[in-house]
Amino acid sequence: MAISIKSPKEISLMMKSCEISARALEFAGSIIRPGISTWEIDKALGEFIKSRGARPSFKGLYGFPGNACFSINDELIHGIPAKRRILKSGDIVSIDVGAFKSGFHGDNTRTFAVGGFDAIPENAQRLLEATEQSLYEGIKKAIPGNRVGDISNAIQTHIVSRGYFVPTDYFGHGIGKELHEDPNVPNSGKTGRGPRLTAGMTIAIEPMVTETTDKTHILSDDWTVVEANGGLCAHFEHTVLITAGEPLIMTKLC
């Protein structure tokens, strides 16, 4: 698949799907509380997205059963929502959600502190802060003339400097008419490598960070990826437009 360069009209349409995705993630955060199940949040998210005239990007994608991914504590990505998965105070949960409207997808992720930021242990607080900051370090490099590797290296450099790990099997991606398009956007790499960034490209930048090792494995549900040592995981993501100047975060709410 060739890298897609979006026209101004396509960007305008995609901005709408990105806003719905961002609103959906904001909504999810507003209903997180100790005692709620990920199934309840997922059901509410699906209804929220549909009420905006869109459809959940993840539902049925490659056979995934949920409207969004819910990854708790040592789970890195692709956690399946379920009635038995009850959140408790002190947990951290990554919610990855996208919306499809008018032919385009938006995609974003945030790791939330259940019970509030002060309810989670200090090591979890530090991990969340480092992972979120690495996302913005990567976004700073999303300018025309740079290469994908400049984004990747900025993320990796920040994460390693904080003592954490970046699994190399999972990465960000181009996004548009398809949820996953070219190019891949790794969370580690060398500067000056990879496809050159051009105005009109839209990419999902998403650092996925582990606490004690870069090794992971997939659970028996064939979806959920966990940290091999049982350490905590965090995940933050924005959909970003490469412009003629500074990058535009399409899933950032004003």
* pLDDT (0 to 100) of residue 78: 98
* pLDDT (0 to 100) of residue 250: 98
pLDDT tens profile 198-226: 999 999 999 999 999 999 999 999 999 99
Q: What is the pLDDT of residue 202?
A: 98
Reading across the β-sheet that carries 181-185, which strands appear in turn?
Answer: 181-185, 172-174, 202-205, 238-241, 248-249
Spans of the chain, pLDDT less than 70: 1
> Which residues have a Cβ under 8 Å from the Cβ of 96 and sit 6 or more positions away?
58, 68, 69, 71, 77, 107, 108, 109, 235, 237
Q: Is 77 exposed, middle or buried (0-12, 13-18, 19+ CB in 10 A)?
A: buried
List 239's β-bridge partners, or say none.
204
Q: Determine the pLDDT at residue 75.
A: 98
User: pLDDT at position 254, please?
Assistant: 77
9, two tokens: 């009209």
* CA–CA separation, 169 and 56 (whole Å): 25
Ordered DSSP codes for 100-165: EETTEEEEEEEEEETT-GGGS-HHHHHHHHHHHHHHHHHHHT-STT-BHHHHHHHHHHHHHHTT-B
Write out the H or E segment, with its range, that includes residue 96. Answer: strand 92-101
Phi and psi angles of residue 98, each rounded to the nearest 5 degrees, phi first? -135, 160
- Predicted confidence at residue 87, as pLDDT, reads 98
